[in-house]
Amino acid sequence: MTMETTTLSGLELLHNAAHNKGTAFNDQERKNKKLEGLLPPSVESLDLQVQRVLNHLDSKKDDLERYIYLIGLEERNEVVFYKTVMSDPMRFIPILYDPIVADACLEFGHIYRRPRGMYITRHMKGRMAEVLKNWPVKDVRFICVSTGGRILGLGDIGANGMGIPIGKLQLYTACAAVPPDCLLPVLFDIGTTNEKLRNDPLYLGTREAPVSEEELNELTEEFVQAVQTVFPGCCIHFEDWKGTDAIRYLDRYKDKVLCYNDDIQGTASVALAGVFSAMNITGGDLKEQRILFYGAGSAGIGIGKLICSELRDLGLSEEEARSRVAYMDINGLIETSRDDLSPEQQKFALNAEPTRDLVKVINDFKPTILFGVSTSAGAFTQAVVEKMSEINERPIIFALSNPTSKVECTAEQAYTWSKGKALFAAGVQFPEFEMNGKTFLPGQANNFYIYPAIGLATYAARPLLLDDECFIVAAHATANQVTADMQKKGMLYPSQHNILETEITTAVKIAEYMFDNGLAQAERPENIRSWIEEKLYNPQY
C-alpha cells in the first residue's frame, strides 16, 4: 500500500507494519507524515534494510531465536519481512514453518510478544459474527483456522497451536505471493486435553477441557456461517483439527462453502505428487501400484482417498482402487475382524489375519509404495526397508511424520538399508547424502508445494467451491516440474530455490481447471498466467 493511500502519520504510522517503511522514508515523506525527528537522519534503501536483517539473523544462536526475530520483524515492517523471506525461501521456510514452528508452538505462551490474528472461544457462542467484525480488514480472502487439537506430531496443544495458522498464511505470501492483507489466522479455542498447559501460568488459552462433540458441531457451524456473513467469498482453510473432527467437518462443508482441509487434501495432494514423480522415474503405472500406509489417521486416509480418486479417473472401479491400498495403525493391520475402526477406516479394511508385524504385512501385501504417517519415530526399521527392497527394484518410501523427532526413518537410513535403491521423501528436509560415489537428494513432501498454489488460484479465480480434482491437478502440476536432471538424483519434488515460479505454474493449472469446469466466478482472461502474475504481491515500497 502506498503512502498516498494511508492517512496515518507520526508514531502511528511507524507502528503500523503494513505501511511502515522505517528508515526508508525519504525526506519529503518525513515532512508530509510528521516523521521528522522520529527517525535517524539516514535514508536507506530496502536492500540495505534487508542486509541489516540478515546480519541480525546471523548473530542469533539458533533457529528458534531467528523465528522469534522474524515474527517481530513482520510486526514492525511487513515489506522488509517478506523481502527477506522471499529472497531465500530454502533458508527461511524451515525457520518460519516446519520444523522450527513445532518448537515455537511448544513455547508459544513463553515467547509471545504481540497478538496476531484472532482468537474465537466457546464463550463467544451466539456472537461470533459480531466478534469477527472487530478485524480491521474487510476483504479477507483466506482464514486459516485451527483448534490446536492435533499440531504436527505434538498432539493437543490448544492455543499454543496459533503458531500454525500464522505460519501457514505467511507461506501463502512467501511461496506464492498471495497479498498478506487478505489473510487472517484464527485460533478456535475449544479447550484442551493438555493438563500440563492448562496448569502453565503463561498459557494463553482457555483453561478448560474440550467441549463435547455436539457442542463443537454447534460452535463450528456458527463460525462457518459467521465467516460467510462477515467475509463473503472467504476461503476457510481448516488446519490441525483432531483427526475425527477434521474428516467430519471437511465432509460436512466442502460441498457447501469455499473451504478445504490442508491436513487431509493438501497432504494427499503433495503425497500424490511424489507418487507421480516416482512413476516418472521408474516408468511405472499407477494402476499397478500397491500402497501401504503405516498410520491410519486423517492424513493417511486423505492420501488413500485421493489416490483412489485418481485410480477411478484411470478407469478402475471403487473396489479395484481400494484393493490397491492397505493400512496399519497402532493396533495393527486394518482388517475386517477389528471392531475399533472408524467408518472411513472400515472402507479400507482387508480380509486378512490380524497382525501388528509391519514386515509380515509388507511380505503378504507386497506394497510398491510405503507411506509413514504415524508420528512413530523409527517405525521403518532396517528390516522394513530391506523387505521393501527385496520385493521392489525401486522401493518408494515416504516418511511423512514431523517434526524430525517423529519421522519413521531418516534419508540416510532409507538409502543405506536399501543399498541406494529407494526413492525417498520425508515431511521434513533432510540433507543430501553421499554413498558409493553417488549423491542422493531426498525430497521434502511438504504441503507448502500445494496449499499456497491452491491459495493463489483461489485468490485469482474466486471459485465457489474447491473439489478434490483441484488437488489432483495440483499434484500433477507439481510432479511435472521435476526435471530429468532432478530425477537422476532421485528428487521427487521441485527445488525450493524457485518456489515462487513453481507455485505460479501450479496455480495456473489449477485456475485453468476452475475455469474449464465452471468453478471460477472471475471472468476468464486470455492469458491466465499473465493475469495471475499481475495479482502477485511484490514486497516493495
Please state the length of the chain: 541
Distance CA 165, CA 483 (A): 32
240 is in an annotated binding site: yes
Closest CA to 1 of 212, 13, 129: 13
Handedness of CA 193, 197, 199, 204 (dihedral sign): negative
Examine the residue annotation and report whether 168 is marked as an active-site residue of this protein.
yes
Compute the distance between CA of residue 529 and CA of residue 508 in angstroms, rounded to an integer.
Answer: 6
369/396 Cα distance (integer angstroms): 5
Catalytic residue among 168, 242, 254, 406: 168
Is the Cβ–Cβ distance between 511 and 309 less than 8 Å? no
Could you tell me the CA-to-CA distances from 353 to 88, 294, 342, 344 in Å, in that order? 51, 17, 19, 20
Assess contact for 62 and 44: CB atoms under 8 A. no
CB 329 within 8 Å of CB 341: no
Torsion of the alpha carbons at 317, 328, 269 and 458, rounded to the nearest 10: 100
Task: Give the residue among 425, 299, 297, 306 at the shortest CA–CA distance from 369.
Answer: 425
- Is 126 exposed, middle or buried, given 0-12, 13-18 or 19+ CB atoms closer than 10 A? exposed
Distance CA 152, CA 156 (A): 9
150 is in an annotated binding site: yes
436 is in an annotated binding site: no
Is 449 catalytic? The answer is no
Distance CA 257, CA 332 (A): 37
Helices 451-461 and 468-479, axial angle in degrees (round to 10) = 120
User: What is the dihedral sign for C-alpha 300, 516, 227, 231?
Assistant: positive
- Gap between the Cα atoms of 157 and 403, Å rounded: 15
Region of residue 293 (left: phi > 0; alpha: psi -120 to 50; beta: else): beta
Q: Of these residues, 97, 249, 253, 451, which one is catalytic? A: 97
Instruction: Check the annotation: does 91 bind a ligand.
Output: no
Quickly count: other Cβ atoms within 10 Å of residue 244's Cβ: 16
The catalytic site residues sit at 97, 168
Known binding residues: 150, 239-240, 263, 402, 446
Known binding residues for (S)-malate: 150, 402, 446
Known binding residues for a divalent metal cation: 239-240, 263
